[in-house]
Amino acid sequence: MAYFDAASSAPLHPVARQALLAALDEGWADPARLYREGRRARLLLDAAREAAAEAVGCRADELTFTSSGTRAVHSGIAGALAGRRRVGRHLIVSEVEHSSVLHAAEAHEADGGSVTRVPVDRQGRVAEGSYEAALREDTALACLQSANHEVGTEQPVAEVASVCRAAGVPLLVDAAQSLGWGPVGGDWSLLTASAHKWGGPPGTGLLVVRKGARFAPCGPVDERESGRAAGFENIPAIVAAAAALRAVRAEAAEEAVRLRELTERIRARVPRLVPDVEVVGDPVRRLPGVVTFSCLYVDGETLLHELDREGFSVSSGSSCTSSTLTPSHVLKAMGVLSEGNVRVSLPSGTPEEEVERFLAVLPGVVAGVREKLGAPAPAAPAAGREDALVVDALGRRCPIPVIELAKVFGDVPVGGTVRVLSDDEAARLDIPAWCEMRGQEYVGEEPADEGSAYVVRRVS
């Protein structure tokens, strides 16, 4: 089985496993106690904090261990907002942040705060100028991920941090996806990360609050972790997390080159092997091991199941794999095709042979899924038919509305239009994406008695 979903959770690093087992024997006692076992546990905790701080590029007393990366995000945002409540209650986030950041922003709004969501371009990248434009006198905090978890695009953290610093606004960086590859540059104020993203054990995160950043812990506090993370420290997991971070950093430079070559191979060859595919995300400024593409006329959930049957574990941002039947917020913000979405994120040590096997298997899997769904085969252009057609796809979920559009598109002459009636949220994203891929004109969305009408004009 080839595990290609390291962006969700990386396999436990061998060094982490060794450190975890050793710490289970040595680090079980209360590190706050003065007897021998407590002192031994405190030494392990302090050493892990020093190692993690060195990897982050901060002081050891600025780093707090938390029970997860999500907890680090929630505590970091709440504490920073509370620390600057006299300034105001305005929060800035990008539209492609991890759900933990967006959920914290929603909670802040529900509590009476205000939030500005900064858009991204089609490659998933924010413009530093957009953060500058979003800053206000009452801005308490800005948040920006170092790299996107779905498409791998790296963000201009240093530039945004500089803009925020000049305005006196702290920047919180979600570094979960990138910290294993290297420290985050720039003059940021807060940083969060999650150990299971770099091969540490799950249930361990870290929160960094640099000296000078105003921060007020929210909720009940105790004496542990500077009052920023209540509860007994999971010392074995913390020790394993720090050991894994040090180990992956030692391998990062060489492994990044190797994985980048493998993902570049996927980026270049998938569009040649599989027709009607859009590779998304920045082609250059991206994480080494992540590549994402979307396939027209494909049910994302079925595609993932078929790849699993072939021995490949991948993930998807397609609405077809979601219980809400709505596209990934990342793909939606980028304005790219969402149906048949596949994210390949290679863990360290992925053999070249597994990537080649994936490329050999993928075309047949996609073709099989398309055949089951009745996707159209390429056809010669037709002319002289009706100038306008209506496709009723109400009640039918992705990718059926786009499939039905493609089936009849050749039946209208150049200049003719097709109206697709659909009540699927994904159609609002996928039909314009289909037009861009096919070089046709997307006229726009019109109201309908039920759902919406998406109008497409044939230009070639």
Active site residues per annotation: 320
Contacting residues for 62 by C-beta, under 8 A, at least 6 apart: 53, 208, 209, 210, 211
DSSP structural state of residue 200: S
Residues 6+ apart with CB under 8 A from 372: 302
Mapped onto helix, strand or coil, the DSSP state of residue 206 is: strand
What residues are paired with 91 via a beta bridge?
115, 141
DSSP β-ladder status, 312-313 and 2-3: parallel
Report in angstroms the alpha-carbon separations of 252 from 11, 65, 256, 300. Answer: 16, 23, 6, 32
Q: How many residues does the chain have?
A: 460
Cα–chain center distance at 302: 22
Task: Kindly list the distances between the CA atom of residue 226 and the CA atoms of 46, 64, 174, 260, 422, in Å, as whole numbers in the listed order.
Answer: 13, 8, 21, 39, 53
Residues 6+ apart with CB under 8 A from 416: 385, 386, 387, 388, 389, 457, 458
Token digits of residue 112: 């009476």
In terms of Cα–Cα distance, which of 204, 235, 233, 231 is closest to 27?
235
| Helix or strand run (H / E) with residue 73 | helix 69-83
Percentages (nearest 5) of helix, strand, coil residues in the chain: 40, 20, 40
**Under 8 Å between Cβ of 146 and 175:** yes
Closest to 129 in 3D by CA, of 157, 96, 160: 160
